[in-house]
Every structure is written in structure tokens, then in C-alpha cells.
A and B are shown apart, each in its own frame.
Chain A
């Protein structure tokens, strides 16, 4: 009798990998669609909200693109760290650190005014990089698990921001827990399409840089070796610790840059909420993109569109805010499940007849 058996797949072709990913996403969309239909939405509602509004309507497209700016950066942050198998669960903390560093430059008038915005940008990169770099150092030197350290550093940054907003940085005009508004020269210019600001160039530039770094630079090659087998990499002379430290610091710096784009491009001040709700989407984006920096751009825009559609579901269909989170989770789960087929294959057991 022929039997179905599961056996490990030794290597999956690029085409097959892509098809599996696509299949996972499609399955996720179908399940999500089914879920929304049970929540009282019609098929035409789904089409108009998810496709028509998020991409076809100027206001919707504006929201999608503006939202995607920090999402691309935090997605890259997780993706770059994953290149060395460093799980960065701390994008919010790094984003806060970057936002606080940029705000400090504005509040204390650091650097000449003509280049203040660039000083803020560099400060944000350093702030975010430091926040993640410390965790990488702790892993290399103390073997501290980065999932725990990066996660906990979120709270440290958040509490520090609250401390500053309720203390030294509190708006002197009305005692509201927000910083003073930045000077016009300290903000990112609008590009003439709704709220889309110059931060989008930072995001796309960062994606290109990461793509080059991971795909073509020597460090990227070393990172692959470290990720595949740290001991073997070290044995052939790759400075494994330094590579991990470098990639993790870069990842943190990218999240810091996301903080910079939010305070300089959208809020024009530090508020209590700039770092909220980035951890989960950042992981989903990096995972959907399979850590490919250019894929991150596509995935981030798709997740941004999901949020845009989610807003209108909330307003016009009275669905709770958790709906978007649910859909994100469904997509992530479906892609995870699909990946099973990259490692295993289904086949018929070949029965060999043994002569009696």
C-alpha cells in the first residue's frame, strides 16, 4: 500500500521559495477576508476599503505612504539584525531613543542652525544605535539573551521619555507633557502630496544601503557566515562578535532614524505617543520580506495600507482596533505555516519488496 511520508527538503530553489511565500500571503488574505466577512462586511466593502481607498484614493494613498516611512525603517531594523540571527524585539525603545536624541539637539540648540536638521538625524542614529548596541554587547560579552534585553530596553526608553516629558522637557506654555515645537528649520519638508514628507527619502535610501550592505559588501558576506555557523565563521577568521555588534548597532540606528522621521516629519515635537505600536508590525514586516531589505519596503507599504484600511473599518463599520492586529497575525501565521514546505516535502513512500 502506498504511504504518504514527510521528508526533509535539502534545498529549495529561489522560484519555489518565492512561490511558497506568495502562497502563504494569499492564504492569509483569503482567511482574513473570510474573517472580515463574518464581521458583517460585504465583498464589495472589502474591495473598496482595502484596494480602492488605501491605494486608489489620494487621501488614502497619502496616509499609506506617510505611515510607511517609519514602518520601512523599523522593518529594516529587525531585518538587518536577523541577518546575524540577532532577534531585535526592541524597535520601540530604539525609536524612542532616536526621537529623544533628536529632540535634545533641538531643545539645547546643539550645532549650527544651518545644519541642525542633519545634527538631529545623526543624533537619532547614534541614540538608536546605542540602545541596540548595548544589547549586542551584552550578548557577546555576557551571553545575555537579546530577546530579553532588547525587549526590556523598550521600557527603559519609554520611562525615560515620560520622565523628560513630565519634567525637564515639559512644554512651558501650558504644562502639557509635550516638548516645545521645533523651529521650522528643524523639520522635514513636506513633498506636496498630503502629509508625505522628506523622511521617505531617508527610508528608501536606508533600504538601498542595507540592500547593498547585505548583498554586496564584505560585511554582508561575513554576516551570512556568522548566521550560518558562528563557530565555523570564527574558525576561518571572521570576527563574529564584531560583525554581530556592527549589524545590531546598525539595526538600532535604523529604528532611531524612524524616531527622527516621526518627530521631525510628522509631530514636529516629542509627544507621549511617538513610539507606540511598532514592535509587532516591525517583526511582521521583516518576516514577510524574509529579511530582504528591498522586500521590506514592499511589506511595509502593504502593512501601512492595512492600517489605513483598518482606520476606515473602525470609523465606518465600527470594527474594533484589534481587527488590524488580528489580520496581521493571520498573515504572519499563514506565511510561517507555508515555510514549512521549504524545509519539508511530501512524497510517496517507495516500498521496496523484500523477497520472501
Chain B
């Protein structure tokens, strides 16, 4: 006990004296652990992360996890401490609301590596990666634009935070590109997962005339309703085709393993360095779309052409001009926002109907 305390003090002194010297974290024997927001089989958000966990388990042996950890500091810290006290040295979590807790834990354990998928905090030993979801949603928007007959789409999302606003805005821009005049009804659910409410919103949007329902939520509940009503749908996080086999156009999917496998390999080699809050594009495969269905083959070819341009880095979703709902120019013609500007997005584009409230 005394020794641990002494060692702790020495460590604290070392950290205080040389904060920059900790830039690289070497984990010769990775013992990985996962913290999920939902259940590992939720059919969406956490399941996409669990796929990555299984891939890591194949490479590094058993990877323990805890499910249903709420976005509450003490619950997250308890889970992290639990794994660390059992020898864990690579802690991987996956939620925006874990950001503060993960930052505190990373500071308390400077020699361990932390990754928080979709977080916004970073430290020399904490990285919060996120996919450029807007690339996938733009392509999905194109598909929805081709599919819609009523020129009305519906999309539901969790909270109006910047990286969620990307999704609705890029979806609307994609639809606008293939079917000018298409509008997107938007609803914020004020939760990451609330299947009952999602189904109700889906129903309401269909009654308003939407014939494509897209969900940015952690469950396929909205798609099930759309399928029953004979409408098209777009899934998220994993291929949700099973929930709506007759109406699904595509799903914007995550492949976290394409980011996490190289990251852990780099930790093992001693070359890993936190990139802060990096964005992984469709070129890395961390984000992509599931195979397109239920639209004509030549439309699919046009979407695929844009996808290839994105992969080659020759297509920017946010190329101006982009106007917000009030008609104010957010991105002038001939320019594109910087990453920092994207992280501060606080508007809905002109063909979105509804408010951020």
C-alpha cells in the first residue's frame, strides 16, 4: 500500500514535471476492454462497436466489456477503473456523453491508452475518433432523392450537436442534388435510443407525406414502421436491411475495426500517438454505405461514381454555396468549411423542414 502510494506520488511528480514527455504510449501487451452505451446486440450503435471488439478479440484474445453504461461521470469512471484494476491497459468506449469522464481517467492514468469513439475530448493518451458520417449520409440522401415520389423525406436524430447536424444536412444536400425541390422533415428525439418514440415519429412523418424514412438513432424501430407502411427507409450504424427488407435503400455503416485494429497495433509497436479528435473518411472504410437496393441500376451507378470521387478525395459534401433555413449563406460559393468550422456547425440547410429544438 505504502509503496503504491509512493509510486503514485513519484508518478504524479513526473507527470507534473514533464507533461509533454508522455506523448507516446507503448502498450507491449494490449489488454483491451470495451464500454458500451447500449447493449452489444442493440442492432445499431453499440453493435457496430461490438463488431470491432470481436475483431480485436481475434487478434489479441478475450476482450471483456460492459453494456448499458449511462452517460454519467461516476458510472463511466467505475467501469474504467474496474478494467484498469483487472489489468486493462487499452480502454475503448463509445459515446459523446463519456467525453468528460474519459478525459478525467486519461489524466489519472497517463501510461494507459484510451479511445472514445464519437467523443470530443482528447489528451496525449486519449483519442476521440469519429467517421465522416456526412459522406455516407450524402450518398444515402442521393438515393433517397432518386427514390422519393412525394419529394418529402423524414429523418430523426438524437441531439442537435454538430456531428449530428452533419448527418441531417448532408442527407438533405444529397437529396437536393439528385431531386431538386425535395424537402426533409426533421425531428430530434432527445435521446440516443428511444424505440417507442422513434416509431411514433416515423408514423407521424409518413402521415405528413414522407415516403423515405431515415434514422440516425441507435435502433431500427423507425424502419420497421416504414416497412409496414410500404415506404422506403435508410438505416444507420449497421446494415439494417434485415429490419426492412422490402423498403431499405441503404444504411450508413460504421467499420470501427478499420480504425481500431491499426490503432492497437501501433500501441503495441510503440508508435501510437493520440490524433486528438480525428475524422475518418470513406477512403479509410471506417464509414461507408451498405449495398444500394430498390432504385434503378443507372441511379446506383451515379451514386457509386460520387462515392468513388469521395474516396479519391475529389468530392467535398460541404462545397458552397450552402444556405441555412433562413436563407443566410453559411458557405459561400467556391469555398468549403474547415474541420473546425464543421465541429461548430449550428444550422440546418435550406431544404430541411423543422427546428433544432
Which A residues are within 8 Å of any B CB, using their own CB?
Answer: 53, 57-60, 62-63, 66-67, 166, 174-178, 181, 194-195, 262, 266-268, 271-274, 276, 308, 311-312, 314-316, 321
The complex places the Cα of A272 from the Cα of B73 at a distance, in Å, of 11
Known: A267-B72, A271-B71, A321-B68. A195 touches B85 (CB 8 A): no
- Is there an interface contact between A177 and B81, defined as CB atoms closer than 8 Å? no
B33 in the interface, Cβ–Cβ < 8 Å? yes
Residues of A contacting B161 in the complex (Cβ-Cβ under 8 angstroms): 174-176
CB-CB < 8 A to B97: which residues of A?
Answer: 176, 178
Nearest-Cβ distance from residue A11 to partner chain B, whole angstroms: 45
> B119: shortest Cβ distance to chain A, in Å?
12
Cβ contact within 8 Å between B84 and A267: no
B246 to chain A, nearest CB (A): 35
Contact indicator per residue, chain B 70-97, by CB within 8 Å of chain A (1) or not (0): 1111110111011111100000000011
Q: Let me know if B81 and A194 touch, CB within 8 A.
A: yes
Asked if B310 is at the interface (CB within 8 A of a chain A CB), the reply is no
Q: Given the interface contacts A59-B84, A176-B97, A315-B33, does A267 sit within 8 Å of B74 by beta carbon?
A: yes
Report A168 CB to chain B, min CB distance, Å: 13
CB atoms of B72 and A273 under 8 A apart: yes
> Which A residues touch B1, using CB under 8 A?
58
Q: Determine the chain B residues whose CB is within 8 A of the CB of A266 once the complex forms.
A: 73-74
A60/B85 in contact, CB under 8 A: yes
CA distance A66 to B100 in the complex (A): 18
Residues of B within 8 A of A67 (CB): 78
**Alpha-carbon separation in the docked complex, A274 to B70 (Å):** 10
- Closest B residue to A173 by beta carbon equals B161
B72→A175 contact, CB < 8 A? no
Of the candidates A58, A274, A321, which one forms a contact with B4 in the assembled complex, judged by CB atoms under 8 Å apart?
A58
- For this complex, 8 residue pairs linking A to B, each with C-beta atoms less than 8 Å apart, are A58-B1, A62-B81, A67-B78, A174-B159, A271-B71, A272-B70, A272-B72, A315-B79
Picked from B66, B85, B356, the residue with its CB within 8 Å of the CB of A314 is B66
* Docked-complex contact B68 and A63, CB < 8 angstroms: no
Given the known interface contacts A53-B85, A62-B81, A195-B77, the answer about A315 and B64 at a Cβ–Cβ threshold of 8 Å is yes
- B325 touches A (CB below 8 Å): no
Q: How far is the CA of A63 from the CA of B78 in the complex (A)?
A: 7
